[in-house]
Structure 1
Amino acid sequence: MIQSFEIGKPLMTRRRYELTAHEWSIISPLLPNKPRGVARVDDRRVLNGILWRFRTGSPWAEVSERYGPPTACYNRFVCWRKAGVWDRLLEAVSKAYDGDIVMIDSTCVRVHQHAATGKKGMETMVAWDVP
């Protein structure tokens, strides 16, 4: 965990998967900021909550209070989706990225525990890479 704080705000430990100051400086200008009514939860906290939710696959109701109320995270996600914010964020982050091209591929197949062994008496097939 990384210690970070802002003037006038309580000390909060930043987890390694949360936005850094550099990442936030790229993203923050692209977020709509039209506060109405009750004071909003900080956009950075909410965005970290949204990212946490998709990283873990947890239901919205299980988003930690560290990121604000789960309903705030969900509502902000939906509003930003309708406003096209996510497309703009992807474009801006892609332009700011200065690394190499990376391709990630993964396949996950879940099988019932009894289906994993195959039928008895079947021949085993082996694939060989023949030049």
Structure 2
Amino acid sequence: MIREGFWLTEEQFARLEPLLPADSRGKPRVDDRRVISGIVHVLKSGGRWIDAPPEYGPRKTLYNRFVRWAAKGVWMEIFRALAAAGGPPAQILLDSSAVKAPRCASGGKGGSARRRSVDRAAAEPPKSMP
């Protein structure tokens, strides 16, 4: 059973396949299409690697392949190829965050009351002297 999520189409994967490393040693590799779909799903959802649905393959494989390909520059080559083909821009934002702040955080110490100009305050006598 395949759950709803992100899945590369055959056409999309056919464009990516020539850009992927072909060096395979040891155990047979998990299907690249499944793994890339899983990586994109995790990145789009903002979830943890451990929370990736099992349909994408072993979670450790998703993480390891993402990290190894990043170190080899595979992702940058994919982005460059997509940008050259009229896809997204050459550099894109993959992650962002939002930080909530309480209402009182906008004014700094003492709130957001208007302050007197420094020039006017300097022209007046000090408040500590009668």
Length-normalised TM-score, structure 2:
0.65
Unaligned runs of 5+ residues in structure 2 are: 114-130
Superposed CA offset, 1:51-108 (max 9, x none): 1111111111111111100000011111101111011000111122269xxx99x984
- Provide the residue aligned with 2:35 in structure 1: 46
Distance 2:71 2:83 in 1: 21
Length-normalised TM-score, structure 1:
0.65
Distance 1:34 1:117 in 2: 56
- Provide the residue aligned with 2:57 in structure 1: 68
Question: Does the C-alpha gap of structure 1 residues 51 and 98 become closer, same or farther in structure 2, counting only changes over 3 Å?
Answer: closer
Question: Does the C-alpha gap of structure 1 residues 122 and 75 become closer, same or farther in structure 2, counting only changes over 3 Å?
Answer: closer
Q: How does 1:106-125 map to 2 (within 5 A)?
A: 108-111=98-101, 115-116=102-103
Unaligned runs of 5+ residues in structure 1 are: 1-10, 124-131
Comparing both structures, which one devotes a greater share of its residues to helix?
2
Instruction: Give the ranges of 4+ consecutive aligned residues of structure 1 lying more than 6 Å apart after TM superposition.
Output: none
Instruction: Please report the RMSD computed on the Cα atoms of aligned residues, expressed in angstroms.
Output: 3.1
Residue 12 (structure 1) shift: 5.7
Give percent identity, aligned residues only.
Answer: 35
Distance 1:14 1:80 in 2: 26
Length, aligned pairs only: 107
Q: Rg: which structure is higher?
A: 2
Question: Does the C-alpha gap of structure 1 residues 12 and 59 become closer, same or farther in structure 2, counting only changes over 3 Å?
Answer: closer
Question: Does the C-alpha gap of structure 1 residues 96 and 12 become closer, same or farther in structure 2, counting only changes over 3 Å?
Answer: farther
Comparing both structures, which one devotes a greater share of its residues to strand?
1
